[in-house]
């Protein structure tokens, strides 16, 4: 049945009214809840890097299209603009569903009431309606000899749709590159990155993670250093292990127990001493003699340790490598830690050795820098966390003629607790990013994850339950994240894209 011009005009009017109502509602929803809209865009897998611009211009464009559709002589332009914008929205949803590493939360308004697949169908219907309205509007104009646009529809419509798709693809690719390698301090919170599996009350708040094997997790205790709490992965079995140390008369001040593979290490940098034994019988059988005083240390292999002490210029922090099998036994790398203020407080941080990558990893507390070096102390590269604090914001007071130093004001902590496994680095951040929900920071510890192999930011997730207790220690295995908050030990399973990023290597870079 062939429709006459009047019926076509009524249908076109109806389609324009539907589009006008849709865009009016969408723009109003965004503007009335602008802060939430901007936050959601910040979590978008396509538009994170452009959230500031998109959050402001999309509502303006939507309202502009409403004006074009409301004026008869501009309606043709309005329909093309509607087709283009709806084509972008449709492309956005299709890319999210089929090519994105994760599917974000709904964006409010109509979309909040629909699933992503339902909204894709909804958008496709409106794209078809826009095409239909353009064709019939052109026919009505031709019949009335009042054609405002003379460009052939057979070219204009496909070009408009193709252009909208290309724009979204470009935005997707460029946003991903910016977020991963040039992040403007926008966190990407991905749902179900971790799932709580087990938790238990340790009763005391003096525990820390010593290490693990394939069956159990081991916790050291600062107040009872010669006893290790061993917990199986199901949290059903606990036992206390006593380390056999014959010489207990040594003036220990701060003993740390680390378990790496089949060996355990008893370390105290104030003496200094490093003792080693096997987890098979928990007896100390060897002392790694010759190591200088140290403040923190991490085993590299059975005979080597990376450490930090204060033997730099003006007692500044310096990193070094100790090996009991070489001569000389100690090799310093004074260029790794870079002084900004005093060389001590400003270079403070956390030291790890990632055995899978064969790299020492040092994360500063007060600036956004990560140092990676090989097992000989040679600099590999310097990377940055996504926050913007590149210079330590601390004040140092010099007492007793400059022989003593103290913090003159509370420092701005950038990175706190850290852990690394395989190619990933987990960092507890203390600095809120753009478009973030401030109340969440009162109830959760925010963990940022970085891929050390690709030098990229991966994602972030909150660990709740920290309102009254701070995150004290963190440990990562191939499949799980363990945290201690107050006296609570919690075990989380790594899920989704986070699990995929955790590349499990079959080879090893050390003899631990």
Q: Rounded to whole angstroms, how far apart are CA atoms 174 and 188?
A: 15
Question: What pLDDT is attached to residue 429?
Answer: 94
CA angle (463 as vertex; 460, 467 as ends), nearest 5: 130
Question: What pLDDT is attached to residue 152?
Answer: 64
Per this entry, what is the length of the chain?
512
Q: Rounded to whole angstroms, how far apart are CA atoms 486 and 472?
A: 7
What DSSP line would sit under 158-211, residue for residue? Answer: HHHHHHHHHHHHHHHHHHHHHHHHS--S---B-TTSEEEEEEEE-S-S-EEEEE
- Strand (E) positions, 5-44? none
Q: Give, in order, the Cα–Cα distances in Å from 159 to each of 53, 127, 138, 167.
A: 25, 14, 17, 12
Peptide bond into 27 cis (omega under 30): no
Q: Three-state SS string across 475-491, please?
A: EECCCEEEEEECCEEEE
Q: Rounded to whole angstroms, how far apart are CA atoms 301 and 298?
A: 9
Question: What pLDDT is attached to residue 510?
Answer: 38
Question: What pLDDT is attached to residue 179?
Answer: 61
Residue 49 has phi, psi (to 5 degrees) of: -70, -15
CA 40 to chain centre: 16
Q: Which residues of 405-423 are buried (b: 16+ CB within 10 A; e: fewer)?
A: beeeeebebbbbbbbbbbb
Please compute Rg for the chain using Cα positions. Answer: 30
For the four alpha carbons of 206, 210, 212 and 215, in that order, the dihedral sign comes to negative
Which one-letter DSSP state was computed for residue 4?
Answer: P
For the four alpha carbons of 194, 479, 421 and 307, in that order, the dihedral sign comes to positive
CB 321 within 8 A of CB 309: no
Which one-letter DSSP state was computed for residue 74?
Answer: G
| Closest C-alpha among 352, 366, 263 to residue 307 | 352
CB 306 within 8 A of CB 298: yes
SS3 411: coil
For the four alpha carbons of 160, 166, 171 and 172, in that order, the dihedral sign comes to positive
Structure tokens at 490: 């919690």
Spans in the chain with pLDDT lower than 70: 1-5, 43, 45, 101-113, 140-154, 176, 178-183, 400-403, 437, 466-468, 504-512
| Closest C-alpha among 126, 124, 144, 18 to residue 69 | 18
Q: What is the pTM of this model?
A: 0.78
Tell me which residue has tokens 């409010």: 108
Tell me which residue has tokens 């509370």: 410
Residues 6+ apart with CB under 8 A from 328: none
Question: What pLDDT is attached to residue 4?
Answer: 65
Structure tokens at 292: 């200088």
| Closest C-alpha among 83, 203, 86, 79 to residue 148 | 79
For the four alpha carbons of 319, 323, 329 and 331, in that order, the dihedral sign comes to negative
Q: Rounded to whole angstroms, how far apart are CA atoms 173 and 196?
A: 33
SS3 510: coil
SS3 345: coil
Q: Give, in order, the Cα–Cα distances in Å from 418 to each of 146, 161, 238.
A: 69, 47, 25
- The predicted-structure confidence for 344-359, as pLDDT tens digits, reads as follows 999 999 999 999 999 9
Structure tokens at 374: 């090989």
């Amino acid at each position: 049945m062939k429709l006459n011009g009047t019926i076509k005009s009524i249908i076109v009017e109806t389609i324009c009214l539907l589009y006008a109502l849709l865009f009016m509602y969408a723009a109003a929803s965004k503007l009335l809840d602008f802060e939430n809209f901007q936050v959601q865009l910040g979590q978008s897998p396509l538009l994170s890097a452009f959230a500031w611009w998109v959050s402001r211009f999309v509502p303006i464009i939507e309202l502009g299209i409403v004006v074009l559709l409301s004026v008869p002589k501009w309606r043709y332009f309005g329909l093309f603009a509607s087709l283009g914008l709806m084509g972008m929205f449709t492309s956005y949803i299709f890319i999210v569903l089929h090519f994105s590493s994760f599917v974000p939360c709904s964006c409010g308004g109509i979309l909040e009431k629909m699933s992503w697949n339902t909204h894709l169908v909804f958008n496709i219907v409106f794209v078809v309606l826009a095409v239909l309205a353009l064709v019939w509007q052109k026919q009505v104009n031709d019949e009335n000899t009042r054609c405002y646009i003379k460009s052939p529809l057979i070219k204009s419509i496909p070009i408009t749709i193709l252009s909208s798709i290309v724009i979204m693809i470009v935005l997707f690719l460029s946003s991903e590159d910016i977020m991963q390698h040039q992040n403007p301090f926008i966190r990407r919170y991905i749902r179900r990155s971790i799932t709580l599996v087990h938790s238990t009350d340790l009763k005391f708040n003096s525990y820390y993670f010593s290490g693990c094997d394939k069956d159990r997790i081991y916790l050291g205790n600062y107040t009872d250093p010669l006893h290790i709490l061993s917990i199986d992965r199901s949290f059903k079995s606990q036992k206390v292990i006593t380390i056999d140390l014959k010489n207990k008369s040594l003036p220990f001040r701060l003993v740390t127990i680390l378990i790496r593979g089949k060996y355990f290490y008893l370390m105290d940098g104030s003496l200094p001493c490093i003792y080693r034994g096997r987890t098979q019988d928990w007896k100390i059988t060897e002392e790694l003699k010759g190591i200088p005083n140290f403040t923190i240390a991490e085993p590299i292999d059975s005979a080597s340790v990376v450490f930090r002490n204060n033997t730099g210029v003006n007692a500044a922090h310096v990193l070094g490598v100790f090996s009991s099998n070489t001569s000389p036994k100690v090799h310093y790398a004074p260029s790794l830690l870079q002084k900004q203020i005093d060389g001590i407080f400003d270079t403070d941080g956390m030291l790890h050795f990632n055995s899978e990558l064969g790299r020492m990893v040092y994360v500063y507390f007060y600036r956004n820098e990560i140092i990676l070096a090989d097992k000989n102390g040679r600099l590999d590269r310097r990377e940055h966390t996504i926050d913007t604090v590149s210079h330590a914001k601390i004040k140092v007071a010099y007492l007793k003629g400059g022989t003593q130093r103290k913090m003159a004001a509370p420092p701005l902590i950038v990175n706190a607790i850290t852990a690394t496994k395989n190619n990933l680095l987990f960092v507890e951040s203390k600095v809120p990013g753009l478009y973030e929900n401030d109340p969440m920071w009162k109830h959760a510890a925010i963990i940022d994850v970085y891929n050390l192999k690709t030098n990229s930011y991966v994602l972030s997730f909150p660990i709740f339950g920290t309102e009254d207790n701070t995150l004290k220690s963190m440990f990562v295995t191939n499949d799980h994240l363990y945290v201690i908050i107050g006296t609570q030990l919690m075990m989380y399973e790594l899920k989704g894209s986070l699990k995929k990023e955790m590349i499990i290597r079959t080879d090893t870079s050390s003899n631990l």
